[in-house]
Structure 1
Amino acid sequence: MSEFNPEFIKALAHGDTEAHEQLKSLPLTVRMALGTAIDQLRRDENIIPMNGGMSIYEQKKSSYVDDDEVGKALAERIQREKDAKELQERIRGEQMEKEVRYKVSRARAGLPY
């Protein structure tokens, strides 16, 4: 942190948009080093950025969710999973029957299976 401008780092830590625009023009390695310095400053001074410029700490805005629609979607999903499982079991049973018939026919013919 000593090799960078402390005011610049503090402005970035607080989420200043002008400082963030200046940061975009810097090389990747410098941005990475500044990012670690910013995170360290945020941890040391318990800084929570005020705007969304560079913040990874902001919560996304919640949207309204209709409980009835969620319930319907969940019921449809459960039904699809149940149908898929029944189909899988039916196919497995049919395959077992084919194998048993094949082995029985081979045994009746006196051939090894």
Structure 2
Amino acid sequence: MGIKHWHRPKLFRHRGVRLIGPASQSSPREPAMTLVVSSGPVTLDIRPLSDYQQELISSVLSLRSQGWTDRQIANHFNETGYLTPRGHRWIPQSVFSMRSKYQIRLGRLGEVQ
């Protein structure tokens, strides 16, 4: 019987699993193998935005403050040749997602506006 899939808790980072080889054959009560698992706290690794991402989020926030809808912003970006950070055409949901993720990022950085 083997372990098919192991789920690690979300609050801990997997540090390593070691299998310690076969135990001596002299005692039938000793386990054949020992599993050692270690974990530690997760550190938030928040990478800086690229220049392109910073330019996009600045434009989105500026246009939203002028009353533009996500659909209008997506159409504007498509007409001016801007692509999403992953290289796709803009749709309203992409604009909404970028704004939402940026707010989450600010919250993680402790700079909620």
Q: What TM-score does the superposition give when structure 1 sets the normalisation length?
A: 0.19
More helix by share: 1
- Normalized per residue, the structure richer in strand is 2
Select the structure of larger CA radius of gyration.
1
Q: Give the alignment's TM-score, normalised by structure 2.
A: 0.19
Q: Which has the higher relative contact order, 1 or 2, with Cα contacts under 8 A spaced 6 or more apart?
A: 1
